[in-house]
A and B are shown apart, each in its own frame.
Chain A
Amino acid sequence: MKRRENVFYNEKAQRLAEEMILAEKRHIAERRSEAEGCDCKEGMFPRGNTTNRRRFIFAAGSLAGAFASAAYAQDKKAPPGAVHFDVPADPTKEQGRAVAADGGYGSRSQFETEVRWRFPTANEYTSWSMTPLDKMLGNLTPSGLHFERHHGGIPTIDPSKHTLIVHGMVGTAKKYTMADLKRFPSVTRKYFIECSGNGLTEWNKPTLKTVQGTHGLLSTSEWTGVQFSTIAREVGLKDGSAWVLAEGADAAVMTRSIPMEKMLKDALIVYGQNGEAIRPEQGYPLRLVLPGYEGNTHIKWLRRLEVSDKPFMTREETSKYTDLLASGKARQFSFDMEAKSVITFPSGEMKLPGAGFYNIQGFAWSGRGRVQSVDVSVDGGKNWYPARLESTPEPICTVRFSYPWMWDGKAAILQSRCTDETGYVQPTLKQLVAIRGSNGPYGSIYHLNAIQSWAVSETGDVSNVHA
């Protein structure tokens, strides 16, 4: 990778950036090999040619072995989360598989290959993996494709032994088993979670090539659990209570201090995700959900809440997850995930086969409320046109948008711009850099919510650009 004059990489950052690009390249190559016989780049026809020979490289066969049933071929060709079956010449001329032969829990089709890929941090226990946003077929993220960020690996926790302790400035300190928590009234709400490091490679120059790389630390789920306010009334809050420390039961024993105002407004202690127990990667059996706050605060494997009059100044809210400005001062407790959007089709590394109609698609979201509107530009932001919202805007939840585009075959720059219900308009990268500076190997690192640009060349190749 060449150094550009205005980009400064130290040795560690340089190495990370290079490995990251390589990891994404490997992922792209694997996808391409699946699309044999298609003269397009992966993504243009995501549903096409499924009968082609496919090579599945990721964690081959790891699930197939888990099934005892002889009906399941012990084949190495199934992708993660799927089981391989031989394809009959004509499925109408022979019986299919027996009912519930899967043991009573389904898996995805063996022809579906979407996976997260891991950001190649040096240490694989403190790392993250990205959601393939360009492959999403709806607004909710499948639980198995929800992005991950762990600081000490994924713990295995027996729910029958897990408890949540609530103590500190409370009337009566209490301990709740999972069964206790499930006896409380619950709420079910759809919220996105976004890591504030989403897009950290993109401040100083376009670095990763795909939308999975640039925006994949975003996922949306339906969450079910108890409101913190319910628990607060149970234990009783003392005068002067202003912050709550949330602590996880992982090897990082992750801690963050959360303002009481937020906790009483809409904090949820959740055990359900998309209709079933939350996944181990998402904090099984219990996690905190703080709608619209940066992902790091949604403490997973939640075991303790300590009510306090002051924040605890934990490692994650001082040395990390603070925003260093050009002045050398850093912003602290920058919780809100501001309005943002991205076009997922067409997006980086796809290829449009020729001039004609394309239904531009993407996601828009805001941590401050509902998405009010989304605009799309096909000329790098000179002209903006309203997009269609394809799902109903809900507070602090993604919406899908689309825009009917008749491509004339000339070079174009595609952008989307979100306005949320507060009237905040998604800024340009130039605006953000002017405010926050660009010091450091990755610039300001966190909270990049700028407009994303995808360049479409005359040959139909789509690439990540700053425009």
Chain B
Amino acid sequence: MFTHKTFSAIAGLLLATSLSATYGQEPARYGFGTPVTQEELTKYFSIPADGRGLPAGSGKAADGAKIYADSCAVCHGEKLEGNPAKGIGGDKLIGGRGSLATKTPVKTVESYWPYSTTLFDYVKRAMPFNAPGSLSDNDVYAVVAYILSEAKIIKPTDVMDAKTLPKVAMPNRDGFVPDPRPELDLYH
């Protein structure tokens, strides 16, 4: 027959056993993976609106026009008007200012894109479509300068670099509002 004392002793023994067991424990850190060096990170980029991470180099519209003609015009049109043809489907890049509040809004870099840095990031990242990431940083600056100049957002002589690009005032900079959903009108 178990006395209270015996029971306590057994319970205490069990508690001690469970505390000393090695199973069921989570380490503070698993420690998997390997540290990344700054060197390894240089091949990656993503450039927010303040221009953080923009690379060295520069370009202007005159140089960009040549690169555009060689690498971009086939999909985006010689006059940046876009090309909806089968197998291509390149977006229109300029025009459409003042159209956003109409029945026929035209969304382009000129009329819709709020940040010039997005254009740099996207061209460097994913363009030209058939050879993504193949343009040098100078080439990207130049093509961006050409598009912004054709859109009459900058002057044809303006030089685009890490300092000047984030300062470009895009026409639709203030055209965005945070998502308000769920929409209160649905609870009227």
Contacts and interface: CB of A to CB of B under 8 A. Distances in A.
A440 to B, nearest CB: 5
A441 B104 CA distance: 7
A172 to B, nearest CB: 6
Interface residues of B, number: 56
Nearest to A427: B186
A327 B180 CA distance: 15
Interface string B146-188: 0000000000000000000000000000011111111101100
A435 B183 contact: yes
A175 B182 contact: no
Nearest to A422: B182
A326 B101 contact: yes
Interface string A232-262: 0110000000000101000111010000000
B86 interface: yes
Given A251-B132, A313-B115, A319-B112, A173 B46 contact: no
B59 interface: no
B185 A335 contact: no
Contacts of B112: 319, 330
A233 B27 CA distance: 11
Given A255-B46, A331-B178, A167 B126 contact: no
Contacts of B41: 165, 167, 173
Nearest to A183: B32
Interface stretch (A9-17, A354-362, A396-404): A9-17
B21 interface: no
A455 to B, nearest CB: 25
A328 B97 CA distance: 11
B91 to A, nearest CB: 8
A151 B82 CA distance: 17
Contact of B115 (A123, A234, A318, A431): A318
Interface stretch (A29-37, A50-58, A129-137, A304-312): A304-312
Interface string A183-215: 110000000000000000000000000000000
B34 interface: yes
Interface string B57-96: 0000000000000000000000000101111110000000
A314 B177 CA distance: 16
B133 A319 contact: no
A338 interface: yes
A439 interface: yes
B118 interface: yes
Contacts of A8: 103-104
A21 interface: no
Contact of B178 (A121, A123, A125, A332): A332
A184 to B, nearest CB: 6
Interface residues of A, number: 71
B86 A234 contact: no
Interface in A309-353: 310-315, 318-319, 322-324, 326-336, 338
A264 interface: no
Nearest to B82: A12
A424 B182 contact: yes
Given A122-B88, A326-B101, A314 B121 contact: yes
Interface string A432-467: 001100011100000100000000000000000000
B100 interface: yes
A384 interface: no
Given A173-B36, A176-B32, A247-B44, A324 B185 contact: no
Given A322-B176, A334-B179, A338-B181, A440 B122 contact: no
B179 A332 contact: yes
B49 interface: yes
Most buried by B among A328, A332, A422: A328
Contacts of A327: 101
Interface of B: 29-36, 40-41, 44, 46-50, 82, 84-89, 100-107, 109, 112-115, 117-118, 121-122, 125-126, 129, 132-133, 175-183, 185-186
17 contacts: A152-B132, A175-B36, A181-B32, A234-B29, A247-B46, A310-B50, A313-B118, A315-B121, A318-B113, A324-B100, A330-B112, A332-B178, A338-B182, A425-B186, A435-B185, A440-B104, A441-B104
Given A306-B46, A318-B176, A329-B177, 13 more contacts: A11-B84, A173-B35, A175-B36, A180-B33, A233-B29, A234-B29, A253-B125, A253-B132, A312-B47, A315-B126, A422-B182, A424-B182, A434-B185
